[in-house]
Amino acid sequence: MVRIGVLGALTAADERGELDLGGPRQRGVLARLLVARGEVVPVDRLIDDLWRGEPPPRALGALQAYVSNLRRLLEPARAPRTPATVLISRTPGYAVCPTVADVDAWRFVAEVEAAAGQEDPRERRRTLERALARWHGPAYAAFSAEPWATAEAARLEELRLGAREQLAAALLELDEPALAAAEAEVLSTEHPLREEAWRLTALAQYRAGRQADALAALRRARAVLADELGIDPGPALTRLEADILAQRIPLPEKVIRRPQAAVAPPAEGEPEFFGRTAELDSLRVAASGSGPRSATVAGEAGSGKSTLLHHFAAELRSGGYRVVIGRCPEDDAAPSAWPWVEILRVLAREHDPGAFGAALAPLLTDGVGAPDADRAHGRFLMHRAVCDYLAEVADRAPLAVLLDDLHRADAETAALLTAVAGRVPALVLIGYRPDEAPPPLADALAALATTVRARIRLRGLAVEDSARLIGALTGDAPTTTVVRTLHERTGGNPFYLVEVARLLRSEGEVVAASDVPQGVRDVLRRRLSRLPETAVALLRLAAVIGREFEVAVLVRAAEVSEDDVLDAVEAGVLAGLLDEPGGGRARFTHVMVRDTLLGDLSRIRRDRWHRRIARALEELAPGDVAALAHHYGESVTADTARRAADYAVAAAERAERRYAHDVAASNYERAVAALERDVVADTVTERVDLLCLASRAHLAGGAGQPARSARRRAAALADDAGRVDLLVRVFTAWDSPTPWVNRMYGVAEHEVVDWITDALRFPDLTAADRCRLLVTFADEIGGVAEERAAAAAAEAEVLARALGDDDLLAPALQARASLYACPDRGPLGAELIELGRRRDRKDYLLLGHTVSIQAAASEGDIAAVREHLSVTTALADRYQWRQAQVANTMTAGLAALASGDPEAAERHYLAAGELTTRAGILNPGGILAMALFVVRMHQGRLGELAEMARAYAESAAAETADTVVDFQVLALLAAGDRDEAARARQRGRPIRDDLFRSLFLTMRGMVVAELGTRAEAATLYRELLPWRDRLGGADTGSYAVGPVDTVLGDLAARGGDRALAAEHYLAALRMARRCGNPTWSAQATRRLES
C-alpha cells in the first residue's frame, strides 16, 4: 500500500522508498485530490483550481498527463489497461481511493475520532499520542497559498489543537498533572486565544501544587482576551479561578443517567431503536452540565439522524427536560427561518413572551410589514430577543432545542443557530447531511466550535444491530446468509435496511436475498408497485405539495373523490410511507420516499399539478404566501404571471420582516421571472423596481456579487427600454455603504460606468439623487480613474452638506476616504463616527472606525488601531456583517505584524483567507498571497515564496499583472536569483493611483533600491516622499511592509546622498519603536551603523 503524507511536506512512499512526485503542478494534482478526502473532484474544478481560473488552451491534456504520471509512480506494478486503484477515475473526474491509499491525515482524523469514544484515559492517551506523532509540519504546507487547500489545512490544524487539548485532559485523568501542565502550557503560549488551553494549563498547574502559577496563568488569559478580542473570559475560566481561590478542585460534571421511565413504544409496524450505543453516550455527555452546549449529528440520507435525535429527545423529556423541535422543511415552499418559527410559537403558547413579544413579532406572526429601517440593528434586536426569551424559558426547566434537517437551512435559520447556541444556557441538538451543508450552516458550525461538545458522524449499523432490526420488522430471526447479504448491499444504512426488510416480509427470504435491489429508490419503487395505481398517483400529487401536507389541500387539488384521497393516505400510512402527526396533516416518513415519487414524474405533469395545488391553497390557506409563491412560481404561465409575481413579492416582504435577506432576494427575482412571462402588460418599471429590491436584499445579507448582478440586470433592462429615469432609480437604490469593494480589483465595468454617466445627465435629476449617483460613480471608477473618482466624491460631499442630509453625507465621506489621495482620512473617520452616533446608524459607526483604523495604522499608532478594531469587531460580530468580519481579521493581522509578531499575523491572515470565501469576496487567493508576502518578508523568509510568486505572476489577469511583478522580484532577490529578478522586473508598469498605492510604491522602492539606476532611484524617491513618516501599505488597513522612511533612505543612499539617507533611517527607527517592532528597528539601526 502506498503511504502518502500531507501533515508537513507532501510525500509518498512504498516498499521501494520515497517517491519523486514531480513538479509543483503535478504535486498540486495529488494534493487537490487528497483535500477532497476520497470524494470525486470534477475535471473542470481541478483545472480551475490548478490554474487559478486561467487555464491554458490544452489544460485538459496537461491534467491527464499529470494523472498518468502519478499513476505510474503510485502503482508501478499495475498491468496495462487495468483500472487504477489509488488515483481512480470516476465520473465526472478523479479521486484518491480511501481504502487503498494510506494517508497520514486520514489516519490522524480517524484516531482523533476514536480517542473521543475511548473511556479508558490510558487508551485515549496512547491513541492521541500516536495521532499527534504523525505531524511533521503544517498540513499541506507547500500549498498554503492555494484557496482550495486553506479550509482543509485549517480543519486539520483545528483537530490537531483539539487533540492536544484532549491529550492534556487525558493526562489529568491519569493523575499526571506535571505532564499535563507541560503540554497545556505550550499550547496556551502558542495559541493564547484558546480558552480551553488556558483552563487546562491552570487546572494542571493547580493539581501539580503550583497554585500561584495557576492564578498567574488565568490572569494572563484574562489580559490576552481583553487586549486581543475585547472580551472577558468565559464561564469555564471564571469558575475555575473562583474554585482555585477557594482552594477547591472542581468536581467532574455529572453525566445525565439513562432514564428509568420507559420511552414511548414504537408505532405499529415500526422497528425499535437498535444500536447507536456509543452515539447516545456521546449525546448524554454533551447534555451534562450547564451553560450553552450543543451536539451535532451528521450523516447521509437514511443514516438515522432523526431517529437518533428523537430517541434521545424522548430520553431528555423523561429526565425533566423541556424539548422543542424545529425542522427545515425538505421542500422549496418553506417560509424563511421556519425551524425557529416552529420552536417559538410552541413555546409562546406555554410561556408568554411578554416584553420580548414586539421584537419576536416577525417570527410569532405571519403579518407582512416593513422591517426595521436600520436592518442590521433590527435583526440584532430580534436575535437578542430570541436568546433572552429562550434563556428565560431555560431558567424554569432544563431546555433542549432540537434542529433537524439543517442541510436545508436558509441564512437566517443558521444565523439564529449561531446566536442561540452561543448564548443561551440550553442544549442545542443539530442534525444535518454534511455533504449538503450550505455555506451559512458551515459558517454557523465553525462559529460554534467552542460550544459543540459532541460531533457525531453516523455510519452504517453493525451487522448484529442490522440483524435485530430486520428480525423486528419481519417477525422472524433472519438467517446469517440473509443478514450478511442485506447488510453488505445496504451498507447498514438504517432506512435502506428497513425498506429491504419490508420487501423481505412481503416477498419472502429467497426472493429478497437473491434479488436485492441496487438502491433504496429501487426498493421503494417495488413497494409502491404493490399499491393501487390511484393511491400511487395521489401520493405523487402529495409529494408535489411537500414533505408534509394538509390532507384537505390534497383533497381539493385531486381530481378524484375525497374517499379516494383518504384511502390513498391510509394506504401510504399502512405501507410505512406516510406518518400522521395529527391536525389533518400527513408527512412522508423520509425525504427519499418523496424524492422517489417526484423523480418518476414528468415535468409537464408536475407543472400542471403545481397550478392545481396553488389554486387549492388560495382557497384553503391564502396566508401561506411562501407556499403560494413556490407553487405558482413553479408553474407560471402568461395567464398566472401576475398572481405568481404578487405572491412572490408578498413572500419576499415577509422574509425581509424576518431579516432573511437571501430568501427575500430569491423571491423578488422569482417575481421578475414571472412577470417576464406576461406578454401583454408593460412590466419594465415593475421588473426594474423588483430587481432593485433584490439587489438591496442581497447587499443587506452581505452578498456583494449577487447584489451587483441583480443591479446590472436592472440597468440593462432600463437601458434596453430607453428609460434613463429608471437608470437613476437603479443606481441610487443601494441605501447602505459597505467596507469592501464589490468588484474585481483594478477593473471598472465600462458598461456600468456608461449607464451611471447617462443617469447623471438626466434633466430632471434631483440634488439628492445626483449626490447618490456621484457616490456610486466614485465607487465604480475608484482605483481605475482616481482623479475623476475624487472629483465625483468631492462634489457629492458638497451636495450632501448643502442639503443637510446625514444619510447622503456618510456615503460621500466614505467615498472620499477610499481614495489614495486623502490627506484628511483621520478627520473623515471621526466625522463618520459622529454621524453614526447621531443617527444611531451602526453601519456608519463601522465605516468611521474602519477609516480611522486606516489613518492610525498609516501613522504607526497600533494602540489606536486596536482600540478602533475592538469596536469594529464587536459591531461586525453582533450584526453578522461578513465582509466586515474579513476586514477585521485582516486588520488584526496587520496589528500583530506591525507589533513584531508575524506568527500571530499569519494565523489572523489564514483565518481571513477562509472567511473571504464564505463572504463571497472576489480574489481570495490574491488577498491571502499578499498577506503571506508581508509575513514572510518580516520573517526574512521571502525567498520561500519565489516559486509561488512566479506562478502567481504567470496566472494573474492582465488588468492586475502589474501588482504582482514587484512581489515576484523581491521574492527572487530574497532567493538569491538576481538575474531572474532583473528579467522579471522588466514587466513592471507604473503604480496605479488607488488605496494600495503606498503598499505597491514602497515595494517598488525596495526593488529600485536593489536593481535600479540612480536616476530611477531619484524619480521613485520623489514619488514615495509624500508617505514619509508613514507605515508602508498600512493605510489599506490590511497590510504593512515596514516604515516608508527605510525605503526612502535606501533610495537616497542609492542616489549617493548618505546624509539624507541617515535622516530617513532615524525617522524609520522612530516609527519602528512607535509600533514596538524589533525587526524594523533592527533594520533601521543596521543601516544607520553601516
Is the separation of the CB atoms in 979 and 1016 below 8 Å?
A: no
Q: Are 241 and 129 members of one domain?
A: no
Amino acid 78 reads R
Share of the chain above pLDDT 70, in %: 92
Question: Rounded mean pLDDT of the chain?
Answer: 86
Q: pLDDT higher for 732 or 783?
A: 732
Helices (H), 899-960: 902-918, 924-939, 946-955
Q: In the structure, what pLDDT confidence band is assigned to residue 270 with cuts at 50, 70 and 90?
A: very low
Residue 298 lies in a domain: yes
- H-helix or E-strand spanning residue 433: none
Residue 725 lies in a domain: no
Look up the CATH number of the domain holding residue 427: 3.40.50.300
Q: Are 929 and 1077 members of one domain?
A: yes
Q: Are 538 and 516 members of one domain?
A: no
Q: For residue 260, how many C-alpha atoms fall within 13 Å in the half-sphere facing its CB?
A: 0
Q: In the structure, what pLDDT confidence band is assigned to residue 225 with cuts at 50, 70 and 90?
A: confident
Please state the length of the chain. 1090
Q: Are 181 and 151 members of one domain?
A: no
Which residue(s) pair with 587 in the sheet? Answer: 548, 579
* pLDDT for 476 beyond 90: no
pLDDT in tens, 17-41: 888 888 888 999 999 999 998 888 8
Q: Would you state the pLDDT for residue 266? A: 36
**Dihedral through CA 162, CA 163, CA 169, CA 171, nearest 10?**
-160
Determine the average pLDDT of the residues in 582-588: 87
Residue 564 lies in a domain: yes
Report CA torsion sign: 842, 844, 849, 854: positive
pLDDT in tens, 817-826: 988 778 889 9
Is the separation of the CB atoms in 933 and 966 below 8 Å?
A: no
User: Looking at 153, 168, 183, which one is the last position of a domain?
Assistant: 168
Q: Are 430 and 301 members of one domain?
A: yes
Residue 735 lies in a domain: no
User: Looking at 476, 494, 526, which one is the last position of a domain?
Assistant: 526
* pLDDT for 687 beyond 90: yes
What residue has cell string 422543511? 329
pLDDT in tens, 852-890: 999 999 999 999 999 999 999 999 888 878 888 899 999
Look up the CATH number of the domain holding residue 594: 1.10.10.10
Q: Would you state the pLDDT for residue 1005? A: 97
Is the separation of the CB atoms in 906 and 929 below 8 Å?
A: no
Residue 739 lies in a domain: no
Residues 6+ positions from 928 with CB-CB distance below 8 Å: 145, 147, 150, 909, 910, 912, 913, 916
Residues 6+ positions from 841 with CB-CB distance below 8 Å: 374, 807, 810, 835
Determine the average pLDDT of the residues in 244-265: 43
Residue 863 lies in a domain: no
Look up the CATH number of the domain holding residue 959: 1.25.40
Q: Would you state the pLDDT for residue 288? A: 86
* pLDDT for 91 beyond 70: no
Which residue(s) pair with 296 in the sheet? Answer: 430, 455
Domain total of the chain:
6
* pLDDT for 269 beyond 90: no
Q: Which residue in 209, 128, 212 sits closest to 171, CA to CA?
A: 128
Q: Which residue in 694, 708, 316, 858 sits closest to 308, CA to CA?
A: 316
Report CA torsion sign: 44, 50, 53, 57: negative
- H-helix or E-strand spanning residue 402: strand 399-404
Determine the average pLDDT of the residues in 286-312: 88
pLDDT in tens, 187-201: 888 888 888 888 999
Q: Are 421 and 362 members of one domain?
A: yes
pLDDT in tens, 354-367: 889 888 988 988 76
Determine the average pLDDT of the residues in 759-781: 95
Amino acid 499 reads E
Determine the average pLDDT of the residues in 521-528: 75
In three-state form (DSSP H/G/I as H, E/B as E, the rest C), the secondary structure along 656-682 is: HHCCCHHHHHHHHHHHHHHHCCCCCCC
Q: Are 289 and 426 members of one domain?
A: yes
- The DSSP bridge pattern shows strands 11-14 and 17-18 to be antiparallel
Residue 506 lies in a domain: yes
Q: Are 521 and 557 members of one domain?
A: no
Q: Are 89 and 154 members of one domain?
A: yes
Enter the pTM of the model.
0.64
φ, ψ at 53 (rounded to 5°): 80, 0
* pLDDT for 72 beyond 50: yes
Least confident of 626-635, 730-739, 1029-1038: 730-739
* DSSP annotation string for 619-649: HH-TT-HHHHHHHHHHT--TTTHHHHHHHHH
Determine the average pLDDT of the residues in 402-424: 91
Q: Residue 200 belongs to what domain range?
A: 175-252
Look up the CATH number of the domain holding residue 235: 1.25.40.10
Q: pLDDT higher for 564 or 229?
A: 564
Q: How far apart are CA 1046 and CA 777, in angstroms?
A: 37
Q: Are 151 and 289 members of one domain?
A: no
Q: In the structure, what pLDDT confidence band is assigned to residue 742 with cuts at 50, 70 and 90?
A: low
Q: Are 939 and 988 members of one domain?
A: yes
Q: How far apart are CA 668 and CA 748, in angstroms?
A: 27
> In Å, what is the CA distance from 694 to each residue of 277, 331, 385, 507, 697?
48, 22, 27, 54, 5
Residue 351 lies in a domain: yes
What residue has cell string 410505512? 576
* pLDDT for 1075 beyond 90: yes
Q: How far apart are CA 17 and CA 916, in angstroms?
A: 40
User: Looking at 457, 476, 509, which one is the last position of a domain?
Assistant: 457
Q: Are 487 and 542 members of one domain?
A: no
Is the separation of the CB atoms in 145 and 925 below 8 Å?
A: yes
